[in-house]
Structure 1
Amino acid sequence: MATEKPHTICMRASDDDRVLIAAVADAMGLSVSAFLRETVLDLCAAYVDKHGAGFLAAKAAEAEEERQRKRKISEKNLLRISAGIDRDKGLRF
């Protein structure tokens, strides 16, 4: 199902893996993109069926909180570095 504004998801695969993926996709009459999209979405649906949408939502919220926490730490570190650079600008050796 194409979207109006598709987004790209990339992955790394060895040459052998790429050949296998392309061969299976071709055997199924699908492009590599369609094969990977269908396979990933099927796995996602099975995961949600097994664990429940609430569990998935809670995990997503936890991950977002962790990203926000790390972002705040990074911002504080950048401010400290910036303050140190500004302070050291006045020093001449």
Structure 2
Amino acid sequence: MPEVTVYLTRHCPYCVRVKRLLDKKGAAYRTIDVGGDPALWEEMASRSGRRTVPQVFIDDRPVGGFDDLVALDMEGTLDQLLGIKE
């Protein structure tokens, strides 16, 4: 399985939705809470090029936020990126 990392904050509804989608897919992931930690927020922004949460990385590749993940799921690419067999 690929390594999935989710940068998030605790009270972000889109962050909750990203976790639900990944849970539904059975994907293992680690979370990094950037809330209240400017250094982690800068790390996320530097890696993703974005300053919004959530930000999802699959094998160190930035794939975006919740809307981006849903778009990948709808086109069938998300399962491939997550290593899910049909």
TM over 0.5: no
- Structure number with larger C-alpha Rg: 1
More helix by share: 1
TM-score normalised to structure 2 length: 0.27
More strand by share: 2
Structure with the bigger RCO (C-alpha within 8 Å, sep 6+) is 2
